[in-house]
Chain A
Amino acid sequence: MSMTDEKAHETSTDAASQNGDLSGHGDIETPKDGPGGFIILFFIAGLVVSLVVGWGLFPKLLYSQKKQPIAFNHKLHMAEVEHGCESCHYFREDGSFSGIPTLEECMSCHENAIGESDAEGLFMAEYVYKGREVPWYVYARQPDCVFFSHAAHVSMGEMECETCHGDVGESEAPRVYEENRITGYSRDIWGKSIAGLKINSYDRMKMDDCAECHETMTGRRTSVQTQYDACFVCHK
Chain B
Amino acid sequence: MKIDRRCFLSLGVGAAAGVALSPLPWKLLDDSSIWSQNWPWTPVPKDGAASYVHSTCTLCPGGCGITVKKIGDRAVKIEGKAGHPVNNGGVCIMGLSGLQLLYGPTRVQSPLKRVGERGEGKWKEISWQEAIAEVAGTLQKIRAEGDAHTVAGIMESDRGTVPRLMQRLLTAYGSPNFFRMPSMQDSYEQALYLMQGVRAMPGFDVENADFILSFGSGLIEGWGAPVRMIQANSNWRSTGAHVVQVEPRLSNTAAKSDEWIPVKPGAEAALALGIAHVMIKENRCSGFADQAAFGFDDFVDDEGRTHKGFKQLVLESYSPETVAEVTGIDSRRIVDLARAFAAAKRPIALTGRGRGLTPGSVSDVMAIHALNALAGNINADGGIWAVPEPDYIEWPAPEMDRVAVDGIQKGRIDKAGGSEIPYTQYLLNRFALTAQGKGDYPIKALMVSEANPAYSLPDTRMFQKALDAIPFVVSFSSYMDETALQADLILPNHMYLERYEEVPAPAGYSKPLIGLTRPVIKPLYNTKHVGDTLIGIARQLGGNIAKAFPWTDYESCLRNTISGKWDSLMRKGFWWNAAYKPAPASNGFDTASGKFEFAVTIPRGTDKAGDALLPKYQPIIPEGDIAEFPLLLMPYETMCLSSGYTGSPPFMMKTVPDTVLKGNTGLVEISPETATSLNLDEGDPVMLTTPKGQANLRVHLSDGVPPGILAMPRGLGHRAYDDYMADKGVNINELMGPVEDPVSGLDAAWGIRANLTKA
What residues make up the interface of A, taking CB atoms closer than 8 Å to B?
31-51, 53-55, 58-59, 62, 92, 94, 96, 98-99, 102, 143-145, 180, 182-185, 190, 194-196
Q: A38-B2, A144-B38 known; 13 other A-B pairs, CB under 8 Å?
A: A34-B1, A37-B1, A45-B14, A46-B14, A46-B16, A51-B22, A54-B19, A55-B23, A96-B49, A102-B48, A183-B35, A184-B35, A195-B23
Instruction: Tell me, in angstroms, the Cα distance from A38 to B4 when the chains sit together.
Output: 9
B13-A31 in contact (CB<8A): no
Write the chain A residue with the least CB distance to B25: A54
Please determine whether A40 and B24 come into contact, CB atoms closer than 8 angstroms: no
Please report which residues of chain B, range 21-80, place their CB below 8 angstroms from some CB of chain A when the two chains form the complex.
Answer: 21-24, 27-28, 30-32, 34-35, 37-38, 40, 42, 44, 47-50
Q: Is the CB of A180 within 8 A of B31?
A: yes
Q: Are the C-beta atoms of A54 and B13 separated by less than 8 Å?
A: no
Q: Is B6 on the interface with A (CB-CB < 8 A)?
A: yes
A residues within 8 A CB of B3? Answer: 35, 38
Name the contact of A39 in the complex, choosing from B7, B24, B44 (C-beta under 8 A).
Answer: B7
Q: How distant is the Cα of A188 from the Cα of B284 in the complex, in angstroms?
A: 79
Q: Contact check, B8 vs A42: say whether CB atoms are below 8 A apart.
A: yes
Which residues in B have their C-beta under 8 angstroms from that of A54?
18-19, 21-24
A45, A47, A48, A194 — which one has the most chain B CB atoms within 10 A of its CB? Answer: A47
Contact A33 B2 (CB under 8 A): yes
Q: Name the 8 nearest CB pairs between A and B, nearest first.
A: A54-B22, A46-B14, A50-B18, A46-B15, A43-B14, A47-B14, A42-B11, A54-B24
Interface presence of B12 (CB below 8 A): yes
- For the complex, is B17 an interface residue (Cβ under 8 Å from A)? yes
Q: Given A43-B14, A47-B17, A102-B48 in contact, is the A182-B32 Cβ separation under 8 Å?
A: yes
Q: Which of A31, A55, A98, A183 contacts B1 (CB 8 A)?
A: A31
Does B10 reach chain A (CB closer than 8 Å)?
A: yes
**21 pairs from A and B in contact (CB 8 Å cutoff):** A32-B1, A33-B1, A35-B2, A39-B10, A42-B14, A46-B11, A46-B15, A46-B18, A48-B14, A50-B14, A51-B18, A53-B22, A58-B22, A58-B23, A59-B23, A92-B50, A96-B49, A145-B34, A145-B37, A182-B35, A194-B27
Given the complex, which residues of B lie within 8 Å of A196, measured CB to CB?
23
Complex CA gap A131/B300 in Å reads: 84
Kindly list chain A residues whose C-beta atoms are within 8 Å of the C-beta of B50: 92, 94, 96
- CA gap between A43 and B3 in the complex, in Å: 13
- Asked whether, in the complex, the Cβ of A53 is within 8 Å of the Cβ of B24, the reply is yes
| Chain B residues with a Cβ closer than 8 Å to the other chain, count | 37
Q: How far is the CA of A98 from the CA of B50 in the complex (A)?
A: 10
Q: Which residue of A lies closest to B15 (CB)?
A: A46
Q: Which residues of A contact B30 (CB under 8 A)?
A: 190
Give CA–CA (A94, B67) in the complex, Å.
Answer: 15
- Contact mask B610-642 → A, CB, 8 Å, 1/0? 000000000000000000000000000000000
* Residues of chain B contacted by A143 (CB below 8 angstroms): 34, 37-38
B456 to chain A, nearest CB (A): 37
Please, which residues of chain A bring their CB within 8 A of the CB of B47? 99
Q: Is the CB of B21 within 8 A of A51?
A: yes
Complex contact B13–A98 (CB within 8 A): no
Q: When chains A and B are docked, how far (Å) is the Cα of A190 from the Cα of B3?
A: 42
Complex contact A46–B13 (CB within 8 A): yes
How far does the Cβ of B519 sit from chain A's closest Cβ, in whole Å?
22
A185 with B14: CB separation less than 8 A: no
User: A16: shortest Cβ distance to chain B, in Å?
Assistant: 17
Q: How far is the CB of A89 from chain B (nearest CB, A)?
A: 13
Closest Cβ of chain B to A29, distance in Å, is: 13
Q: Which of B16, B32, B37, B38 contacts A50 (CB 8 A)?
A: B16
Whether A144 lies near B42 (C-beta < 8 A) is yes
* C-alpha spacing A96/B11, complex, angstroms: 56
User: Counting chain A CB atoms within 10 Å of each CB, which of B13, B19, B50 scores highest?
Assistant: B19
Tell me the bound Cα distance from A46 to B16 in angstroms: 8
Q: How far is the CB of B522 from chain A (nearest CB, A)?
A: 18
Q: Which residues of A contact B40 (CB under 8 A)?
A: 184
**Bound: A236/B8 CA distance, A:** 50
Of A44, A180, A190, A195, which one neighbours B14 at CB under 8 angstroms?
A: A44
State A47–B13 Cα separation when bound (angstroms): 8
Q: How far is the CA of A45 from the CA of B18 in the complex (A)?
A: 10
CA distance A42 to B7 in the complex (A): 6
Q: Complex formed: what's the CA distance from A102 to B72 in Å?
A: 11
Query: With A46-B12, A46-B14 in contact, do A35 and B27 touch (Cβ < 8 Å)?
Result: no
* A143 to B16 Cα, complex, angstroms: 31
Complex interface: chain A residues within 8 A of B17 (CB): 43, 46-47, 50
State how many angstroms separate the Cβ of B343 from the closest Cβ of chain A. 49
Q: Chain B contacts of A35 at CB under 8 A?
A: 1-4, 6-7
